[in-house]
């Protein structure tokens, strides 16, 4: 019989324990609770096991006992079911023998309730049989030091057997290391052991050779009691498709990188996958690695309109424009011809966007310049037409006057008084002078229009050319009794001297023309920073606001009568504008009707 020490251990175990002699007579009975069996220990002690237990239990029990007594095995176990309180329970019986004394051997039977385990196992088996993935269950095999030395396959569904290329007899009940040689090669055995120790599931993709063919398998493993459940899924087709997709993507990336045009490839999160060198040069991205970076971070100036276009393309639409503006972060305007379209994965899903752009900024600037030139040409034609209209009128008057007076002299020369003849000659001289002035202005204007004028800026003192012009105009000023008040600050200008004389002559001539007799014209010059401010001021008839606005904005060529009937061509102001523009100057006219006019010009200092 077991000693008191052994009995004490047995009483503290969770199992039901029976001690039998070799003939099957109950010697001892130990249980944490007798309520489950409905009988007290006295019901068993001294009785034959065949009288107490059902035949399906005793037959399996004595089969193992005989093997133990014959030395065939050291330990045996079997499972059985028993109805207790109208409920079918499952038990696991573990059988071994031990020496009670030198001449007596006894049988120890340990009973464990495995109802929940069997239910879980049945449920697992049902799940396994219905799963299209391969499922297998293994239990740990441990040595005397409780170390896992192998696993035994307990369950395997049809899908798992198909993937492994083995039959159920070759797998179930056999050791893993004997059946699955690749479990060591790919480190799975160690991972399964770690899974039991840490209870941390793991997954892995493997390329294995099964039945002389290479397969890609996806593995998920989870702990189950003192073992694990592993799920196998054949992903060979998906892997091949993925590799093909990666190969196609690589080819696309290489093509895009080497493309001579501006192309960019982005994923569906707007991150760069590839771009051409032209794309980087067109957008000032040379030397920057933008692969993997977001498009909106690279171009923070992109607005909601572009983002909306991108979202439309990610939904399968194609968008394009032959001419569109793109305002950059530094304020410059870039003009583009563009097309944005989706690119597709092998499964038909949209992988991202392809952007094709062409920088047409230079063409746009050329188009704008051409438009400006057309406008200038149109304005020049209009100016030419106005000029011809003025010339037709202004030349006709003097010529007509000269012709009439010469006709009078010719027909009545003998009867004309000497004083009257002088007056006629004087009128002829004035008309000829007006025509000469008009033709001189016309010659200068035509040179400017044809680009034949020679404007060469150089350092020049202001006093000498002003004095020369004033001296040449003394006659017209004496005729109207006009006095000049000159106040010039000495300075050297950077301008063409001949052109400056034309400006001064025009300004003074107009001031005299529109001044009342016996009045004063002021000429003032002052240094203003790096400019020289030159003013000609008269106190004559002035101009209305409408006339002044028209004169400033439209560059009109219009003749106006002076206070003494002087006639001007209107060409002079156009010539002055041209010279001032070439010399980087600035013209300003201030006038008030009935009070006079101030013409000012800003000219660079030497």
> pLDDT digit string (tens) for 288-332?
999 899 999 999 999 999 999 999 999 999 999 999 988 888 889
* Distance (Å, whole) CA 378 – CA 110: 115
- Closest C-alpha to 484, from 537, 526, 527, 533: 537
- Closest C-alpha to 508, from 448, 557, 457, 576: 576
Torsion of CA 356, 362, 365, 370, to 10 degrees: -110
424-458: pLDDT as tens digits = 887 787 667 666 665 666 665 565 555 556 778 89
Decide: 56 and 80 in contact? Cβ < 8 Å. Answer: yes
Residues 599 and 521 in one domain: yes
Residues 459 and 382 in one domain: no
Residues 332 and 393 in one domain: no
Alpha carbons within 13 angstroms on the beta-carbon side of residue 482 total 29
* Distance (Å, whole) CA 37 – CA 93: 15
Residues 409 and 345 in one domain: no
31 Ramachandran zone, left/alpha/beta (phi>0; psi -120 to 50): beta
Residues 595 and 492 in one domain: yes
- Is 229 strand, coil or helix? strand
Query: What are φ and ψ of residue 566, in 5° steps?
Result: -70, 145
* Domain stop point among 429, 453, 477: 453
Residues 250 and 291 in one domain: yes
* Distance (Å, whole) CA 109 – CA 60: 12
Residues 392 and 293 in one domain: no
DSSP per-residue string spanning 488-525: E---EEEE-HHHHHHHHHHHHHHHHHTSPTT-EEEEEE
What is the predicted pLDDT for the residue at 62?
A: 92
Residues 447 and 510 in one domain: no
Query: What are φ and ψ of residue 331, in 5° steps?
Result: 95, -10
Decide: 556 and 571 in contact? Cβ < 8 Å. Answer: no
Overall domain count for the chain: 5
DSSP per-residue string spanning 289-320: --TTSBHHHH-TT--HHHHHHHHHHHTT--EE
What is the predicted pLDDT for the residue at 530?
A: 92
What is the predicted pLDDT for the residue at 14?
A: 53
What is the predicted pLDDT for the residue at 339?
A: 92
Q: Which residue matches tokens 């087709």?
A: 237
Residues 473 and 421 in one domain: no
* Distance (Å, whole) CA 469 – CA 462: 11
Residues 349 and 436 in one domain: no
* Domain stop point among 234, 256, 286: 234
The CATH number assigned to the domain holding 365 equals: 1.10.287.130
Decide: 260 and 277 in contact? Cβ < 8 Å. Answer: no
Residue ranges, the chain, pLDDT below 50: 1-2, 34-36, 564-565, 569
Range of the domain at 296: 240-359
* Domain stop point among 407, 422, 453: 453
What is the predicted pLDDT for the residue at 144?
A: 85
Structure tokens at 248: 């196609």
Q: What angle do CA 577, 582, 389 make, to 5 degrees?
A: 35
What is the predicted pLDDT for the residue at 538?
A: 92
Q: Which residue matches tokens 């032209």?
A: 278
| DSSP-derived secondary structure letter, 23 | T
What is the predicted pLDDT for the residue at 524?
A: 94
Q: In angstroms, how far is CA 286 from the centroid of its own chain?
A: 16
Residues 482 and 565 in one domain: yes
| DSSP-derived secondary structure letter, 422 | H
Structure tokens at 332: 């410059």
What is the predicted pLDDT for the residue at 48?
A: 93
* Distance (Å, whole) CA 464 – CA 498: 12
In sequence order, what are the beta bridge partners of 215?
Answer: 208
* Distance (Å, whole) CA 67 – CA 78: 13
The CATH number assigned to the domain holding 98 equals: 3.30.450.20
Residues 336 and 381 in one domain: no
The CATH number assigned to the domain holding 564 equals: 3.30.565.10
What is the predicted pLDDT for the residue at 1?
A: 44
- Is 442 strand, coil or helix? helix
What is the predicted pLDDT for the residue at 309?
A: 93
Residues 6+ apart with CB under 8 A from 160: 128, 134, 135, 136, 171, 232
What is the predicted pLDDT for the residue at 487?
A: 93
What is the predicted pLDDT for the residue at 559?
A: 54
What is the predicted pLDDT for the residue at 506?
A: 84
What is the predicted pLDDT for the residue at 522?
A: 94
């Amino acid at each position: 019989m077991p000693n008191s020490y052994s009995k004490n251990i047995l009483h503290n175990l969770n199992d039901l324990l029976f001690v039998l002699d070799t003939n099957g007579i109950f010697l001892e009975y130990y249980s944490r609770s007798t309520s489950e069996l409905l009988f007290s220990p006295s019901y068993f002690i001294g009785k034959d096991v065949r009288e107490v237990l059902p035949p399906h239990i005793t037959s399996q029990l004595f089969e193992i006992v005989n093997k133990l007594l014959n030395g065939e095995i050291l330990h045996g176990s079997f499972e059985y079911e028993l109805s207790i309180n109208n409920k079918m329970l499952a038990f696991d019986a573990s059988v071994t023998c031990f020496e009670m004394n030198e001449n007596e051997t006894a049988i120890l039977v340990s009973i464990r309730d495995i109802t929940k385990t069997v239910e879980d196992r049945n449920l697992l088996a049902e799940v396994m049989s219905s799963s299209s993935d391969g499922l297998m269950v293994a239990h740990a095999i441990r040595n005397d030091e409780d170390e896992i030395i192998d696993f035994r396959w307990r369950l395997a569904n049809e899908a798992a057997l198909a993937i492994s290329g083995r039959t159920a007899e070759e797998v179930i009940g056999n050791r893993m290391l004997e059946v699955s040689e690749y479990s060591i090669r790919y480190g799975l055995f160690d991972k399964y052991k770690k899974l039991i120790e840490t209870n941390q599931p793991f997954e892995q993709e493997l390329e294995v050779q099964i039945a002389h063919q290479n397969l890609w398998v996806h593995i998920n493993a989870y702990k189950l009691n003192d073992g694990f459940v592993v799920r196998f899924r054949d992903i060979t087709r998906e892997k091949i498709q993925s590799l093909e997709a990666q190969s196609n993507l690589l080819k696309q990336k290489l093509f895009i990188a080497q493309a001579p045009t501006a192309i960019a490839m982005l994923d569906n999160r707007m991150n760069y996958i590839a771009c051409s060198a032209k794309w980087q040069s067109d957008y000032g991205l040379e030397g920057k690695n933008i692969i993997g970076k977001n498009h909106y971070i690279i171009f923070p100036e992109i607005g909601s309109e572009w983002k909306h276009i991108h979202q439309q393309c990610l939904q399968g639409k194609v968008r394009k424009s032959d001419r569109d503006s793109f305002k950059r972060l530094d304020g410059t305007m870039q003009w583009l011809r563009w097309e944005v379209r989706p690119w597709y994965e092998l499964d038909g899903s949209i992988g991202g966007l392809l952007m094709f752009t062409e920088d047409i900024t230079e063409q746009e600037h050329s188009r704008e310049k051409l438009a400006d030139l057309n406008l200038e040409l149109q304005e020049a034609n209009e100016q030419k037409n106005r000029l011809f209209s003025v010339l037709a009128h202004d030349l006709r008057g003097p010529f007509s006057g000269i012709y009439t007076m010469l006709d009078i002299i010719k027909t009545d020369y003998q009867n004309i008084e000497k004083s009257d003849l002088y007056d006629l000659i004087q009128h002829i001289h004035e008309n000829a002078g007006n025509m000469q002035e008009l033709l001189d202005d016309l010659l200068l204007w035509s040179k400017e229009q044809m680009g034949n004028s020679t404007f060469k800026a150089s350092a020049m003192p202001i006093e000498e050319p002003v004095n020369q012009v004033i001296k040449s105009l003394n006659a017209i000023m004496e005729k109207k009794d006009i006095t000049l008040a000159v106040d010039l600050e000495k300075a050297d200008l950077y301008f063409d001297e001949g052109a400056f004389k034309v400006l001064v002559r025009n300004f003074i001539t107009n001031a005299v023309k529109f001044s009342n007799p016996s009045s004063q014209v002021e000429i003032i010059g002052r240094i203003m920073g790096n400019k020289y401010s030159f003013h000609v001021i008269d106190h004559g008839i002035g101009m209305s606001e409408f006339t002044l606005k028209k004169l400033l904005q439209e560059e009109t060529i219009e003749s106006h009568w002076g206070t003494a009937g002087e006639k001007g061509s209107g060409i002079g102001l156009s010539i002055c504008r041209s010279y001032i523009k070439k010399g980087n100057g600035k013209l300003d006219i201030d006038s008030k009707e009935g009070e006079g006019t101030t013409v000012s010009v800003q000219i660079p200092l030497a």
